[in-house]
Chain A
């Protein structure tokens, strides 16, 4: 059997994403990201756009908001609100699970 090449990547957070990286990863324009940061819907690094850096959490959140806006033609504020609630729900579910109080015996593959 042929030896398969093992690929190594970089851990996002050890390297942070630039504005362009984040936009590309979400298939949106950089303006989409800038507007949501300026409205306080997505985390930012500093007041200076050029030095903005993004983490894994920002990437997950931005993709989720993008999908919600697209699927439901939702206003950005509403998509951010839904993203907040989903994040909170995931945190609480994790705590329930840790406490042995799983509310969903067969959670879907995330």
Chain B
């Protein structure tokens, strides 16, 4: 385990005031907020920032940390000395396991429930916290259902009474009909309860991997299908892949790019299944041979067609 320099994480001096710490935290929280940040490691940075703020904005924890930090440099191998926090009383809100799941082993070791911070947790029965995780699936999984393995970091109290993080792999059934942003609740897969209290739940938030072929709105799926000019102009019966398998599609004559055809009930399945909207995209064949150029020239001669007619200017 590496020693973490929380002052470095927030970019503040060791002498920073509470107000300076708050300011630095807000500035970084704005930059790395996972909902808006474009930084690839935003979630990881946000975790470090939250952790640093949790320690440095609490006078008691900061004092204990400062004393410990005198002997360590950032990144140095670190094991908390026994009774490192002797003489300190951490009051106020204790850090519960759900928080610890989002914090590093370093933090969990120092301020977890196995440490003195958890004093408030003793002696009564409490339900475990609910936990949250995100999971990415392909759109086709929502049509067929799937099984996905997820790895969770579960904080546990070891035989020495310290909190350690344990990896827990879970195989989860993704039910058919799941939508973007929807949650699956796994009862009893959250944090363990205290004093024999019941285990919390785990919520999995579902996201679809971006797919250049499809766009999803609720249960409706939008798909662009390329067609030839003659299929669009004359009408045709074409076969196209869809998330639920290939379908035969009747393209009405006189279609243009952007024409939308609805395939009722072919969206994401459910008690009220969504629809699949096929958006036609007319693609021109390249004029890359003499014969092709000749055909285009014939059309130019014989079809009185000016798409800009009536636009003025």
* Segment among B5-13, B115-123, B202-210, B283-291 that sits at the interface with chain A: B202-210
CB–CB B183/A56 < 8 A = yes
Given contacts A6-B147, A27-B129, contact A11 B38 (CB under 8 A): no
Q: Within 8 Å CB of A109, what residues of B?
A: 43, 134, 136
Q: Which one of A4, A6, A63, A95 contacts B132 once the chains associate, using CB atoms below 8 Å?
A: A63
B40 surroundings in chain A (CB, below 8 A): 106, 108
A60 at the interface (CB under 8 A from B): yes
Q: Is B36 an interface residue (CB 8 A)?
A: yes
Indicate with 1 or 0, residue by residue over A7-41, a CB within 8 angstroms of chain B CB atoms: 11111111100000000110100000000000000
Q: Which secondary structure dominates where chain A touches chain B?
A: mixed
In the complex, the answer to whether A110 meets B207 with C-beta atoms within 8 Å is yes
Residue of B134, B136, B183 near A12 (CB, 8 A) is B183
State the Cβ distance, B89 to closest chain A Cβ, in Å. 24
Q: Which of B63-71, B174-182, B239-247 contacts A (4 or more CB under 8 A)?
A: B174-182
B259 beta carbon closer than 8 Å to chain A: no
Contact for A8 among B35, B127, B130, B175, CB less than 8 A: B175
Is the beta-carbon distance between B26 and A71 smaller than 8 angstroms? Answer: yes
Q: Which residue of A lies closest to B207 (CB)?
A: A110
Q: Are A9 and B38 in contact (CB under 8 A)?
A: no
> How many B residues face the partner with a CB closer than 8 A?
54
How many angstroms from the CA of A92 to the CA of B227 in the assembled complex?
27
A25-B203, A108-B34 in contact; A98/B215 too (CB < 8 A)? yes
List of B residues within 8 angstroms of A27 by Cβ: 96, 98, 129-130
B189 interface contact, C-beta 8 A: yes
Q: From residue 34 to 63 of chain B, which have CB atoms closer than 8 A to chain A?
A: 34-40, 42-43, 50
Interface check A107, CB cutoff 8 A: yes
Q: Mark A42-64, 1 if CB is under 8 A from B, else 0.
A: 00000000000000110110011
Interface centre among A25, A27, A94 (most CB of B within 10 A): A25
B162 at the A interface (CB under 8 A): no
> Chain B contacts of A86 at CB under 8 A?
35-36
Q: Chain A nearest CB: distance from B145 CB in Å?
A: 10
State the Cβ distance, A13 to closest chain B Cβ, in Å: 6
Contacts of A100 in B (CB 8 A): 212
User: By the criterion CB–CB under 8 Å, are B182 and A12 in contact?
Assistant: yes
Q: Is the CB of B215 within 8 A of A108?
A: no
Knowing A27-B130, A57-B181 touch, does A9 contact B29 (C-beta < 8 A)?
Answer: no
On chain B, the residues within 8 Å of A72 by CB distance are 26, 29-30
Distance in angstroms between the alpha carbons of A27 and B210 in the assembled complex: 31
Could you name 18 residue pairs across A and B whose Cβ atoms are closer than 8 Å? A4-B171, A6-B171, A6-B172, A8-B172, A9-B189, A9-B204, A11-B184, A11-B185, A12-B185, A13-B182, A14-B271, A24-B127, A27-B96, A60-B181, A71-B26, A72-B30, A106-B40, A109-B134
6 more contacts with CB within 8 A, not counting A6-B147, A27-B130, A108-B37, are A7-B172, A9-B172, A11-B175, A11-B177, A12-B184, A108-B39
